[in-house]
Amino acid sequence: MGTSVGAKAITIKQAIIIAMVFEFAGAYLAGGEVTSTIRKGIIDPELLGDEPELLVYGMMSALLAAGLWLFIATTFGWPVSTTHSIVGAIVGFAAVGISVDAVNWGKVGEIVSSWVVSPVMAGTMSFLLYMSVRKFIFDTDDPFKMAKRLVPIYIFMMGYVISMVTMVKGLKHIGLELSFQEAMRYSVLVAAGIMMLGIVALLRIRRVTESRQYDLLNVEKVFGVLMVSTACSMAFAHGSNDVANAIGPLAAINSIVSSGGMVAQEAQMPHWLLLLGGGRYRRRACAIWISSDQDDWNPHYGTYTE
């Protein structure tokens, strides 16, 4: 939300409302796939068939260890990742408490490689999108006109990607399984609906003056609509991915307890677990909202002033 608030496209309270709604939706609708990776992808459950209680104790230990480390790092203001913490904690208890062979090192390698691939891919796509905006909007004779013409296309692309990820990977746990072709068709419809909402918002933006300098300010207003859309998209994607850090170990514990001690590879994701994970983001967002009402909050920058 920092970019949208910093550019004054939305206020801090609007950002919190967006976070509460879309983080919760992402966690519940699309959080099952990543949660499954945390639950059963890092450890080989077959090695624990005779002692399922080890997995229960280990997952509880991993949650406690990750929570303590996050608390310590946050207290001292150190940059910290919940994903790194929970993955490291699970690998630690499996390697030390069970055996090194209990860790699925291939899956761990995939997870770790994503920590390198993700920023590289994000940086590459960001560069390409920036260059397309610069070439097709700002380097034209009428940036304002081109912005109003092309911003809906960017909104459509954003809506299509999020819809595809959700429909292909995220809806199985709620009983809705779609083929890839069906997901593509429905995603186009959803993205078109989001684009129409963006067009309606863009129609309210009028050119103030023909001056080149003020015309760029008008373009910023047009991109404000896109920034709101990307803020919603980012909140949804973050909820769908980050919820696994909290409920992945809980899902593993629930699977063993509900099956009477069977360490099963396949177990349906309970709805209440995803609701619990989604509620975590709503509580955190509400806490930030309360803190934003304090006297030392600077709404223009989204940070505390010294």
Is residue 153 scored above 90 in pLDDT? yes
Is residue 13 scored above 80 in pLDDT? yes
Is residue 300 scored above 50 in pLDDT? no
**3-class secondary structure for the chain?**
CHHHHHCCCCCHHHHHHHHHHHHHHHHHHHCHHHHHHHHHHCECHHHHCCCHHHHHHHHHHHHHHHHHHHHHHHHCCCCCCHHHHHHHHHHHHHHHHCCHHHECHHHHHHHHHHHHHHHHHHHHHHHHHHHHHHHHHHCCCCHHHHHHHHHHHHHHHHHHHHHHHHHHHHCHHHCCCCCHHHHHHHHHHHHHHHHHHHHHHHHCCCCCCCCHHHHHHHHHHHHHHHHHHHHHHHHHHHHHHHHHHHHHHHHHHHHHHHCCCCCCCCCCCCHHHHHHHHHHHHHHHHHHHHHHCCCCEECCCCEECC
- pLDDT at residue 125 in the model: 92
Q: Are 135 and 69 in contact (CB under 8 A)?
A: no
- pLDDT at residue 211 in the model: 61
- pLDDT at residue 306 in the model: 31
More confident residue, 36 or 144: 144
How many whole angstroms separate alpha carbon 73 and alpha carbon 90? 19
Domains: count for the chain:
1
pLDDT mean over 94-116: 84
Host domain of residue 38: 2-304
pLDDT mean over 19-48: 73
Average pLDDT, the chain: 78
Residue among 103, 105, 129, 119 nearest 46 (CA)? 103
Q: What is the pTM of this model?
A: 0.71
pLDDT mean over 134-163: 88
Q: Are 265 and 45 in contact (CB under 8 A)?
A: yes
Supply 169's token pair: 């990977």
Please list the residues that pair with 43 across neighbouring strands. 103
- pLDDT at residue 257 in the model: 76
